[in-house]
A and B are shown apart, each in its own frame.
Chain A
Amino acid sequence: MDIQLKINDIPLTVPAGMSILDAARTINIDIPTLCYLNLHEMRLNNHIASCRVCVVEVEGRRNLAPACSTPVFDGMVVKTDTQRAVLGRRTMVELLLSDHPKSCLTCPKNLDCDLQALAADLGVRNITYEGEESEFAIDKSSLAIIRDPNKCIRCRRCETMCNDVQTVGVYSAVGRGFETVVKTAFDLPLHDTSCTFCGQCVAVCPTGALMELDQVDKVWKALNDPTRYVVVETAPAVRVALGEGFGLEPGTIVTGKMVAALRRLGFDRVFDTEFGADVTIMEEATELIHRIEHGGRLPILTSCCPAWVKFFEHQFPDLLDIPSTCKSPHQMLGVLSKSYYAETYGIDPQKITVVSIMPCIAKKYEAARPELGQDPVTPDVDIVITTRELSRMLREAGIHFDHLKEEDFDHPLGESTGAAVVFGTTGGVIEAALRTAYEWLTGKPLENVEFEPLRGMDGIKEAVIPIGKRDFRIAVTHGLGNARTILEKIQSGESHYDAIEIMACPGGCIGGGGQPYHHGNLEILEARANAIYQEDRSKPLRKSHENPAVLKLYRDYIGEPYGEKAHRLLHTSFTKRPKI
């Protein structure tokens, strides 16, 4: 049913039940928001109406109405631009700032902060009502996320994200009144909670209260140390998002420029995590076939997402034996750099520093997991920085990104196939695995390599794929809440699958916690996904087992996929962890 209303004297017709905010946007009137966040595709709807920066005047109403959560009604008369409304909104920002460090200049969120932008837009020029400011300790316990509650505006987006979408439940509003703030259970350091470090809370936090652990300086240090041989690798999802940091359209593919930029920064070798992804497929497809042939436990679950790994370690410790034991692609590439590559080129692995550029915050934590290294002093990957950190680094180095000439990855760990590219988006890992498993199991070439039912933003995607005589029941899910739903069905025996791909971030790695902020616009994720598929299509080889460099690796160094050496270098194990 449609209703009619007037906003700033402009008549309009919109569906009943729409919010004033959305109605105003249909006629290009913007109303500021801070707490409100509706990411429909992610099933995230934070409409707690707490920040009050969206208040507008509604005729006949005693007080101002929050536009984000007030439904329109027939005959409604709304004014968004009266002095009363504007003053109300500005005062809300002033009040927020009165309990906020005024340290934008040194804040990691500087120029990317919603609160700061709002203060500028609303013309906040002084803080009329000054008073006591909260003082909280900054939580630097984790290897991935820094929490600075002093910058928290209590929008509760993180809480909604972690509770409703990810179902990890790390945060809750704690205390009451002025003291209220979002905290972990018992105010524990994040490191001691069940946090998966997926970084989705960081992705939606409008301020600098939640930030990734900044490791740029560690990279500079390694680059400036003449004794270090510094290798860099970049994940598929980075090349379709990095451009955003330099004003390019979302979905612009910047692989070549990125490689060039990394060389300018001084990396000794620029490798591609996609090589690791192709290796992952070799291992995982073999592992799947092995389980089928040897009556192993099914379904097999992908394990290339460290946040997902930590999730099941805490939440489903009884299912520890079903995920694939494969390391994630960047870890594989890291270990291969320090073994295969080092041995081939006669470099002391102790002198190699591997830096991963990832869309991901959890990978910072993953790289520090003690079992992910050949020995305690040789971690597979030394430093992980996110897409966002890389763009800061490039700006710091004064590199005019968009003017760079495209360059290619270094050999041999820079070779990859289309199968590896699609790792970057939801459904990609399974699609890549199927491309290989199909050919291995049937011995026939796979004509159509694109598995449409596994693509797209649906939370849980299912398909039955006939391969030879067997029907493969496949599920793809992204977002940890969806993962929980599936795992619970497996636990209860309600569902049976052969293989499931699970990615912690909604959309997969293209929506990773370390990507340029989407500021609530999910079309950006779609553009990135499309770019991924475009990149896949542009590759001459689209199946991992066709990657000549990978085949050479197995021939010359690893031997059999899923064999003894493969196990030592490319597989890992999991640990039971308590649920906090």
Chain B
Amino acid sequence: MCNNPLLKDPYQQLDDYIDSIPYKKENLILILHRAQEIFGYLPDKVQWHIAQKLDLPSAKIYGVVSFYSFFTMKPRGKHVANVCMGTACFVRGSEKLQKEVESQLGIKTGQTTEDQLFSLDSVRCIGACGLAPVMTVDGKVHGRLETTADIKQALAKYRPEGTPEEAKGSNSNI
């Protein structure tokens, strides 16, 4: 039908991938990683599909998906922001950073903004402790986020141009 791999039916993509690897049940976690890449998240339907394909009980898949924090069963925003909650960042004020990002995005950690632009989560040390406190957005590290303005600036890069920032408050230290 269509040769563009980007337009290929995602389930077909996933099946092709599963068919291409030697051990299947043993590679469940790898398969889930791939599925999350394809679908963006792992809804019940995708998990069920994998269960059928690998001939595993769905409950087992669900148990695994719900165990690992990397896997998400909810759709994510276009951009995923992760505030580092590692120890080094914590002692350098990541709690305040987290609160400020939450307030600028108007969501709590673990949630996605209504416009589906941002999801906010936390990570534990990304190895950039020298830049603490840090936040990553779509994998890109933003370090030394010490003032509301720093954060505003970091997030602005991901907002479509011309959107008003939801942030309020003064340009103060957080």
Contact = CB atoms under 8 A, between A and B. Distances in A.
B56 to A, nearest CB: 8
A173 B57 contact: no
B63 interface: yes
A341 interface: no
A338 to B, nearest CB: 39
Contacts of B56: 169
Contacts of A111: none
A185 B67 contact: no
A239 B45 CA distance: 46
A579 B52 contact: yes
Contacts of A174: 59, 62-63, 66-67
A337 interface: no
Interface string B32-75: 00000000000010011001100011111111001101000000
Contacts, number: 53
Contacts of B44: 185-186
A291 interface: no
B66 A175 contact: yes
A551 to B, nearest CB: 47
A387 to B, nearest CB: 29
Interface in B57-111: 57-63, 66-67, 69
A580 B61 CA distance: 11
Interface string A164-183: 00001111111110000001
A163 interface: yes
Nearest to B61: A185
A168 B57 contact: yes
Interface centre among B47, B52, B57, B62 (most CB of A within 10 A): B57
Contacts of B52: 579
Interface residues of B, number: 16
Nearest to B63: A172
A184 interface: yes
Contacts of A171: 59
Contacts of A194: 57
B59 A175 contact: no
A169 B59 contact: yes
B124 to A, nearest CB: 14
A185 B59 contact: yes
B59 A183 contact: yes
B38 to A, nearest CB: 19
Contacts of B48: 185-186, 580
B5 to A, nearest CB: 29
A184 B44 CA distance: 12
Contacts of B58: 169, 185-186, 580
Interface residues of A, number: 19
A10 to B, nearest CB: 42
A492 B35 CA distance: 31
Contact of A186 (B62, B67, B69): B62
A185 B57 contact: yes
Contacts of A175: 66-67
Interface in B134-154: none
Contacts of A163: 57, 60
Nearest to A187: B62
A139 to B, nearest CB: 14
Contacts of A172: 57, 59-60, 62-63
A173 B67 CA distance: 9
Nearest to A176: B67
B130 to A, nearest CB: 30
A163 B57 CA distance: 9
A480 to B, nearest CB: 13
Given A175-B67, A579-B52, A580-B48, A169 B60 contact: yes
A186 B47 contact: yes
Nearest to A168: B57
A176 B57 CA distance: 19
B80 to A, nearest CB: 20
Contacts of A186: 44, 47-48, 58, 62
Contact of A170 (B47, B57, B61, B66): B57
Interface centre among B51, B52, B60, B66 (most CB of A within 10 A): B66
A136 to B, nearest CB: 14
Nearest to A172: B63
A390 B61 CA distance: 39
A579 B67 CA distance: 23
A580 B67 CA distance: 19
A185 B62 contact: yes
Contacts of B69: 176
Contacts of B59: 169-172, 174, 183-185, 193, 580
A170 B51 CA distance: 12
Nearest to A186: B44
Contacts of B61: 185
B35 to A, nearest CB: 15
A467 to B, nearest CB: 38
10 contacts: A163-B57, A169-B59, A173-B63, A175-B67, A185-B44, A185-B62, A186-B62, A579-B52, A580-B48, A580-B58
List 7 tightest A-B contacts by C-beta distance, closest first. A169-B57, A172-B63, A185-B58, A172-B59, A185-B59, A186-B44, A174-B66
Interface of B: 44, 47-48, 51-52, 56-63, 66-67, 69
